[in-house]
Amino acid sequence: MSTPYDRLRELGLELPKPPTPAANYVPFVIANGFLYLSGQGPRRSDGSMSTGKVGAEVDAAQAYQDAQLVGLNLLAVAHMALGDLSRIRRMVKVLGMVNAVPDFREHPKVINGCSDLFVNVLGDAGRHARSAVGFGSLPNNITVEIEAIALVDG
């Protein structure tokens, strides 16, 4: 049976180094069998972030890729927290925030970048409830921010 790490390799992906919090918060909290993952942005391996307004400087296809990158960063924090992604019994809830122009309407398509990654890496355990919403701005003009909650073993 393949592991989440096997599936990451099959997708040609690897977990990045988890980011250091940029303010007064922790990257995760484990409480009562749940893993709460703080919001992450589209941080590339060189530390830079994808920025811009979706629907203006950034199109939905690029924002989808940014959301996938955020999902990878969330999985990196989950790995740091749990030691093994196989401990995720179920991704329970995802909140996806898109830095979009007012008339942008494809927020769900953008956040699918993260949702598709979770399902591809975690299988059925990656399926989750979700909100995909637009914001007038996000910190440092990042394109996407996503937070997640997972049910975990032990």
Task: Tell me the pLDDT tens digit for each residue of 5-45.
Answer: 999 999 999 999 998 888 999 999 999 999 999 999 999 99
- The number of domains in the chain is 1
- At residue 139, the pLDDT reads 96
Domain span at 26: 4-152
pTM for the whole structure:
0.97
Q: Is the pLDDT of residue 104 over 90?
A: yes
Task: Tell me the pLDDT tens digit for each residue of 56-91.
Answer: 999 999 999 999 999 999 999 999 999 999 999 999
For every residue of the chain, DSSP letters joined together read ---HHHHHHHTT--PPPPPPPSSSS-SEEEETTEEEEEEE--B-TTS-B-BS-BTTTB-HHHHHHHHHHHHHHHHHHHHHHHS-GGGEEEEEEEEEEEEB-TT---HHHHHHHHHHHHHHHHGGGG--EEEEEEES--GGGBSEEEEEEEEE--
Task: Tell me the pLDDT tens digit for each residue of 113-124.
Answer: 999 999 999 999
Q: Is the pLDDT of residue 129 over 80?
A: yes
CATH number at residue 88: 3.30.1330.40
